[in-house]
């Protein structure tokens, strides 16, 4: 169930840059809703009638390709979900699913755009943030080429950059992913993902832990991403 919420603007970068008067105008449109792990937020092909932002939790963006799915990206607190499709006024090109208990802040597309028409400065501010989202997605698609090892190395480097925290001499990524989710992120089979992660565990390249992944030496991963 969606409820009207006092929005933590400072925790959502795309909205944090808004002036105080723009925040005051946007806030009455905002609703917050919780999702359980595995719950679908929207499906590929549905009209993009709302703009979502992750408040807490994480969301995977999933694209159906024939008999299998590919995870295009994983979004965390502060990041927009489906915003580009809403701005382009087209259907969602992929599905969004909560991968852990998640809360989203949502704005209705029609009312939000009606507000933007009266506030051109706010439009310019938001477009800058959306351009960055497109750059990140294009980078993710570019990373999906090469061997499974190279794709996995680039994936974990991206996750380390976005989510990682220093630990000992390495980096810890506090994100629990199943082997199937890793396979979907890498665009490979479950068997390949299992073999790869088992080998990396043995080689101490990326260690799988209960609550995430630990990279003991990030430079080894960079070398693999550049040369695999």
pLDDT digits over 116-139, tens only? 888 877 777 676 666 666 666 666
Contact by Cβ (8 Å): 29, 111: yes
What whole-number distance in Å separates Cα of residue 27 and Cα of residue 82? Answer: 19
Taking the model in full, what pTM does it have?
0.78
> 148-227 has which fold?
Arc Repressor Mutant, subunit A (1.10.10)
Backbone angles phi, psi at 10, to 5 degrees: -65, -20
Residues facing 165 on adjacent strands: 172
> 3-142 has which fold?
Jelly Rolls (2.60.120)
What whole-number distance in Å separates Cα of residue 156 and Cα of residue 204? Answer: 14
Provide the pLDDT for residue 170. 93
What whole-number distance in Å separates Cα of residue 63 and Cα of residue 91? Answer: 13
> How many other C-beta atoms can be found within 10 angstroms of the C-beta atom of residue 48?
20
User: In whole numbers, what is the pLDDT of the chain averaged over residues?
Assistant: 86
Residues 6+ apart with CB under 8 A from 84: 130, 133, 134, 137
> Is residue 57 classed as helix, strand or coil in its secondary structure?
coil
Backbone angles phi, psi at 218, to 5 degrees: -65, -30
- Give CA 40 to chain center in angstroms: 14
Q: Are strands 170-173 and 212-215 parallel, antiparallel or unpaired?
A: antiparallel
Percentage of the chain with pLDDT > 70?
87
What whole-number distance in Å separates Cα of residue 15 and Cα of residue 84? Answer: 15
Residues of the chain within CATH 1.10.10.10 domain(s) are: 148-227
Residues 6+ apart with CB under 8 A from 67: none
Distances (CA, A) of 7 to 24, 80, 212: 10, 14, 29
Residues of the chain within CATH 2.60.120.10 domain(s) are: 3-142
Kindly tell me the sign of the dihedral angle through the C-alpha atoms of 199, 203, 209, 213. negative
State the pLDDT confidence band at 176, using cuts at 50, 70 and 90: confident
What whole-number distance in Å separates Cα of residue 151 and Cα of residue 68? Answer: 18
> Is residue 143 classed as helix, strand or coil in its secondary structure?
coil
State the pLDDT confidence band at 187, using cuts at 50, 70 and 90: confident
């Amino acid at each position: 169930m969606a409820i009207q919420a006092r929005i933590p603007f400072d925790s959502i970068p795309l909205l944090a840059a808004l002036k105080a008067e723009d925040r005051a105008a946007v806030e009455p449109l905002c609703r917050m809703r919780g999702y359980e792990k595995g719950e679908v937020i929207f499906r590929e092909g549905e009209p993009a009638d709302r703009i979502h932002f992750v408040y807490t939790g994480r969301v995977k963006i999933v694209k159906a390709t024939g008999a299998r799915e590919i995870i295009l990206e994983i979004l965390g607190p502060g990041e927009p979900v489906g915003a580009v499709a809403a701005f382009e006024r087209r259907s969602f090109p992929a599905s969004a699913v909560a991968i852990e208990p998640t809360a989203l802040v949502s704005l209705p597309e029609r009312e939000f755009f009606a507000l933007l028409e009266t506030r051109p400065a706010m439009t310019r501010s938001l477009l800058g943030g959306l351009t960055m989202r497109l750059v990140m997605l294009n980078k993710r698609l570019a990373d999906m080429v090469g061997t499974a090892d190279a794709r996995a190395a680039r994936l974990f480097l991206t996750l380390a950059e976005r989510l990682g925290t220093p630990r000992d001499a390495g980096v810890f990524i506090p994100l629990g992913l199943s082997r199937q989710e890793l396979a979907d992120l890498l665009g490979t089979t479950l068997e390949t993902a299992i073999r790869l992660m088992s080998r990396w565990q043995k080689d101490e390249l990326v260690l799988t832990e209960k609550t995430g992944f630990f990279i003991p030496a990030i430079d080894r991963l960079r070398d693999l991403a550049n040369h695999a």
